[in-house]
Structures are given as C-alpha cells and as structure tokens.
A and B are shown apart, each in its own frame.
Chain A
C-alpha cells in the first residue's frame, strides 16, 4: 500500500439540528480510488465538500498530507489547489471558452504564465478528444462533453487528489459512458480519487475500496468484492437490492 494522504477521523457535520455526517472515519492512500455509495442524502456530497473545505466540520479531524485541516492557520485556497473537485452540474464558466475554462485555475489561482500553460491545457483537451472545440463556449457542448471539460479543468491544477460528486447523475443515459470511460482512464494512470457515485458497476470495476453511507453513518467499507458480493449489514444488502 502507498502512503495515506487523506485521513478522516470521526468527522461530524451538522446543518442546524440535522446531523449529516455522524462520525465518519476513512483513509485514502496515494493512487487509490475510493467510491462512496449510498442513497441521496446519505452524506456523500457533504463528505466531499468537507474535504475541500467548502464546508467546515463540526467534529472530528480531517488530515491531508499530515496537516489537520481544522487548524486555524490553514489557508483553504491552498488546500483547494491540491484537491480538485468536479460537480454533478458541471459548473463550467459560461462566459469563458473551453480553453479559458481549463486555463483559469493555473493562471488565476497558481499565477502561472498563460503562455506556459496553454500547451498543457491543449494536451489535456486532446486527451478527451475536444481540442478542436477549445474556442467554443460551454453551451455549445453536450452534457457529457461539458463534464469531461470540467474534469480536465480540475486536472489542469495537477491536484494530488480528485473529488468527484455524482458526476454522471445529471447526464443523459447515453452520455454517461464517455464520462465513466475518462474516469477509468484516470484510475488506470494512478489518479487518486474519492468518488461519490450511483453507478454500481463502475464502482465495482474501478474502486479499491467501496464505502457505504446511510444517514450520515459509515455502515460498511471494504473491497468491491466484499461490499457487492458479501455485504455484512442488512441495510447495505437492502440498498444494493434496490439499486440493482
């Protein structure tokens, strides 16, 4: 096993009286792919947002590269530059061309020179077969294309860890495949990913570790084989039966 880069220890998150995360503990190693599964509202998205400091936690600790993210001296912007995040609704910037979308992170957040980054950005777009669309605006692209650009936009920051929040849930069924293929490709080249997903077959294929959440509680975690073929808990079994 590679080193642990992300460590969640009894993480608690509340929205008012509503406890969304109830003591989640989880380790993520370098080059590892972990899939979070569970019904909507089980806390998957919130968990990802907490790692990216888009939400602050109310208990427990999150440790990234040995540094506790709850430390007041932590600069959230620096944390986010190393943890890419991709959203269900793509959230590409509609006023920027595809290429500009990919450039905005390295140029505006990392303050790199535009001319130094353009080639990298074009190579990334080449990888997803959209180099020829680099001057188009996002609304000219299909949902699948937009989501692939959004993934590449995160990759342009060269993050140590990629957080993916149900990235295929807003897509036409016919467009899900191309996005999952890209993620498979990323997994095979060793990208560390924490993925919230409803695609069970994908999770089985790509994950080293599958985590089942229910009502903010980590019910069960294990290899895809353990979770999908021999679930230990009744609620895991029921959930898998329902989504099948």
Chain B
C-alpha cells in the first residue's frame, strides 16, 4: 500500500496566469511600457536642464554655441589655444603610451610568473612595482614624475618635454594594471594546455609564446580594452603639467573669455574618442559570452 500521509502528489489543477498588475508588462504591452518609461525619464531630465533656476546661466556659460565653436578652433592672434588641436596631443600620447604599456606590462607579468631562481630578485621587484603603481593615484604620479625628474638634473633624462613626462607617468601606472590583467589571462589557460605543450618537447618559453599567450590574450582583450578606455581619458591629466592638451586649451579659453564652453567641447571630443572603443569592447564581450554559451 502507498503511504497516505506523504509521497502523495497534489491533485489540484494549478493556474499559471500572472496577476493582473504584472500582465500589463507582458507581451506587446512590454513595448508600450518601455516607450512610456523612456519618454518620462528622458523628458524629465531635459526638463530639469531647462527649468532649473540657473538653467539659463548654465546654458550660457557651458553650452554657448558661439563659444563652443571659438574654443574648438582657437585663435592664434588672441593666444587662444584650440581644443581640437589639443585633443590631437591626447590622441598622440595615448597611442604612444599604449604600445609601451603592452610591452612593459607583458614583461612585468612574465617576470612576476617566472620560476627561474636567477630571476628571483626581479620577481620581487615586479611585485613591489605593481603594488606601488596600482596604489598611488595617477594624478600624483604625474606630478611626481613631471616635476621630480627634471629636478634630478640628469642630462638626457631630465631635459625632456612635459608631454614626455606625462606619457611616462601613464606608461608606469597603466603597465602595472595591464600586467595584472595579462597575468590573470595567463592563469586562465587550462593546465592541460601546458602539459600537452611540454609533453611535445616544447621549451618553457616556446610554450609561453606559442600556446599560453595566444589563448591568454584572447580572453583578456575585453578587460584590456577597458583599461585602454580609461587610459584615453587619463591623458587629460597632461594638463596638470601645463601641456596644452584639450583640457588645458579649454581652461585657457575659460580664463580669457570667462566662458566654460571649451570644457564641454573637450568632454564631447573625449566622448567621440572613447565611445567607439567602448562599443567595440561591449561587442567583444557579447561575442565571447555567446561563444562560451554555445560551447557548453
């Protein structure tokens, strides 16, 4: 006989309908709901901008089309720097720094992972290095390098331009981050890959170059791109050294014309620079995720 007290299945007919309130957000109604909420939220934000007590002032001092254009192109005769030309400096520093950061970051990651007894001191140095440069605010690194190194009065090293010091500050800081990202990628490669490579008789370094790194880099491309997006933005710190980049040009305009529209222009230019990279990164992350889902 079946035990009557437990192990009995319910004989009621269950109902699967959502409660009425939740039904408003289901099916084609969902589209209506999302359109409605978009209009309300975005419209609200725009309304705040226009109706705020100081709205007119802000529009005049930050979003004045005339001043925005003037600051973008600059004016030689009146010693007005161009925000647009300033951005070219940001871009140039970004591109140069990027290459060095990848190389130096890889060297750091490699050193930190080495098991060679001879390289032991370098391993300790690499650990200290990444602790230091991930711990000091980038702004301070800029100030210390930019004003400290020239003060050393070493012939070649101390006579570089401020843009070079800024670039070096970025390289020093971001290499520490990139090294950690690369290291995580290297550790994410399954151990079986190393065993397979070594059992074929590949040397340690060939295994690293031909088997581990190609796989590691593929997995860390999205986080690496994230770091490069913030690197793009942090080139703005060049301005604290007095380099006339986009931000500094906007500040000069502000000082001479008592109007901050140049800073908004700089912001817009930075957005134009970072958004494409952000989109690419998001796409890569989505693709990576799809591949992972497909393979399981």
Interface on A for B, CB 8 Å cutoff?
52, 54, 76-78, 80-81, 83-85, 87, 89, 91-95, 104-105, 108-110, 139, 150, 153-154, 157
Give the chain B neighbours of A150 by CB distance below 8 A: 196
B192 at the interface (CB under 8 A from A): yes
Count chain B CB atoms within 10 A of each CB in A83, A84, A91, A154 and give the residue with the most. Answer: A91
Which of B91-99, B151-159, B200-208 lies on the face that meets chain A? Answer: B200-208
Give the chain B neighbours of A108 by CB distance below 8 A: 200, 202, 206, 210
Give the chain B neighbours of A85 by CB distance below 8 A: 195-196, 199
Chain B nearest CB, measured from A6 CB (Å): 16
11 A-B pairs with CB atoms under 8 Å apart are A81-B200, A81-B201, A85-B195, A87-B195, A91-B190, A91-B195, A95-B218, A105-B201, A108-B206, A109-B201, A154-B199
Check if A105 sits within 8 Å of B215, measured CB to CB. Answer: no
Give the chain A neighbours of B202 by CB distance below 8 A: 77, 104-105, 108-109
Check if A54 sits within 8 Å of B200, measured CB to CB. Answer: no
Question: A52's contact among B199, B206, B211, by CB below 8 Å, is which?
Answer: B199
Question: A54's contact among B190, B193, B195, B203, by CB below 8 Å, is which?
Answer: B195
11 A-B pairs besides A78-B201, A104-B197, A109-B206 with CB distance below 8 A are: A54-B198, A80-B198, A84-B199, A91-B193, A91-B195, A93-B211, A95-B218, A105-B200, A108-B200, A108-B206, A154-B199
Give the chain A neighbours of B295 by CB distance below 8 A: 139
Question: A104's contact among B200, B203, B218, by CB below 8 Å, is which?
Answer: B200
Interface on B for A, CB 8 Å cutoff?
190, 192-193, 195-203, 206, 210-211, 214-215, 218, 295
Question: B192's contact among A81, A83, A87, by CB below 8 Å, is which?
Answer: A87
Give the chain B neighbours of A92 by CB distance below 8 A: 196
Chain B nearest CB, measured from A92 CB (Å): 8
Check if A80 sits within 8 Å of B211, measured CB to CB. Answer: no
Which single residue of chain B is at the shortest CB-CB distance from A49? B195
Count chain A CB atoms within 10 A of each CB in B211, B214, B218 and give the residue with the most. Answer: B211
Give the chain A neighbours of B197 by CB distance below 8 A: 93, 104
Q: How far, in angstroms, from A85 to B218 measured CA to CA in the complex?
A: 27
Give the chain B neighbours of A87 by CB distance below 8 A: 192, 195-196
Q: How far, in angstroms, from A76 to B197 measured CA to CA in the complex?
A: 13
Q: How far, in angstroms, from A154 to B211 measured CA to CA in the complex?
A: 16
Q: How far, in angstroms, from A105 to B190 measured CA to CA in the complex?
A: 19
Which single residue of chain A is at the shortest CB-CB distance from B191? A91
Give the chain A neighbours of B203 by CB distance below 8 A: 77, 109
Chain A nearest CB, measured from B14 CB (Å): 38
Mostly helix, strand, loop or mixed at chain B's interface? Answer: helix
Question: A95's contact among B196, B206, B214, by CB below 8 Å, is which?
Answer: B214
Check if A153 sits within 8 Å of B200, measured CB to CB. Answer: yes
Give the chain A neighbours of B211 by CB distance below 8 A: 93, 104
Give 7 closest A-B pairs by Cβ, nearest first: A81-B201, A91-B196, A85-B199, A109-B201, A105-B200, A91-B192, A80-B201
Chain B nearest CB, measured from A109 CB (Å): 4
Check if B201 sits within 8 Å of A157, measured CB to CB. Answer: yes
Q: How far, in angstroms, from A54 to B194 measured CA to CA in the complex?
A: 10
Chain B nearest CB, measured from A159 CB (Å): 9
Chain B nearest CB, measured from A208 CB (Å): 24
Give the chain B neighbours of A89 by CB distance below 8 A: 192
Question: B200's contact among A78, A94, A95, A157, by CB below 8 Å, is which?
Answer: A157
Check if B199 sits within 8 Å of A54, measured CB to CB. Answer: yes
Q: How far, in angstroms, from A157 to B211 measured CA to CA in the complex?
A: 17
Give the chain A neighbours of B206 by CB distance below 8 A: 108-109
Q: How far, in angstroms, from A210 to B193 measured CA to CA in the complex?
A: 30
Give the chain A neighbours of B198 by CB distance below 8 A: 54, 76-77, 80
Q: How far, in angstroms, from A80 to B200 measured CA to CA in the complex?
A: 6
Give the chain A neighbours of B190 by CB distance below 8 A: 91
Check if A95 sits within 8 Å of B215, measured CB to CB. Answer: yes
Q: How far, in angstroms, from A76 to B199 measured CA to CA in the complex?
A: 9
